[in-house]
Structure 1
Amino acid sequence: MADDDEKTIVNAQITESKKERWENAVDSDGKYPSMSHLIRVAVEDQLNEDESGEPDTPSEVSIDFDMDTVIDELDVRFDEVYDRLDRIEASADAQQQDESSLTTEIIDIIPSLPDRDAARMWIDQRTDADGNLNNEYISADEEGRAIASATRLANYLDEDEGVVRQACYRIDKSGQRFWTARENGETWLFNLTNE
């Protein structure tokens, strides 16, 4: 048997009629001061009987049960769960802020073109005959660098390519004038000004 100072909670499911019978045994003559004591005595008696062939007497079993200690332990465990939930919520909030910041950065960098035909031409000009990226960093307008491919956006922003690709899809689904194209195994994002 385990050290008497170590306690472990064990749960069991029983029918309502057995529960009432056990409660009556606890309430009847004080032989069993609690349901836990009744269960411990019965289990130990059965195990001892199985081992020796003789029934064990209840007086051989010692009970050390303090409900206040159990309640205190439950309070500590609930506090730990609430702390974990708070950390998860804070992490989710930080991730949402990071995604919002990434979305803004991507929108500032992608090219603004009149329509999908212009976007397709952009893709054709920035891929070679094998579909590999070549000169995408060429400026789309006077304001500077414009990048449309998720691969190059990820490199430029020093972000994970999968995260950038997902951000591109979220931007596309935002209901504004953004369009995501999937060409040559690459994800491209454009701001279409005339659509």
Structure 2
Amino acid sequence: MKILLLEDNARLNATIVKRLEAKGYRVDAFLDGKKAYETLDSGYMCFILDINVPNLDGIELLKKIRDFYRETPVIIISSSIELEVIKDAYNFGCNDFLKKPFFIDELEIKIEKFCNIRHDIVNLGEACCFDFKSSLLRIGEHEEHLSRKEKLLLNLLISEKGKVVTFDKIQAMVWEGNFTSLDSIRSLMRRVRKKLPFECIETVVDVGYILRY
């Protein structure tokens, strides 16, 4: 999972990156708001924004994020205690506001909460389960090895169980913002379906897929 971090305190920036990468996240870190803005289409699943940063502040960047990503979690981290600033953050669509200084553990908990990060083993039926922690698909005593994109796709479908996962969302999350064709998405889906011992992924014509189990 890719995260965008905007924090102009280099030391805090590096500390957050180190902790999040240790948890297995990919982090693109920026000290400058304008540079962060230039990468918004890179398939991020979470944004962590400081407010008072050079060139484009966190609130302005939040507005621009919400023009493109209505549901992607945005966590504001700031030393500001001004009520109007906090109100603005929520009014423009942030999911939560962390007052500095804070424990990095708090940030990790919020990321897991808003991004539906799971660490359990999900039973898909017929002795088939998916281990979120190891990203392994287990069928009976057999472990089915998945490619990186296969893992990302199955993870996404399970996290959005019962909801339609659109082609656009698959492109953003599985291809991490890089362009791909519908043929490539369908080809990947065929490979995932072949590795499952039963049919549980429905096609929603011209829209995407939905997982039911």
- Give the structure-1-normalised TM-score: 0.26
Structure having the larger proportion of residues in strand: 2
Higher Cα radius of gyration = 1
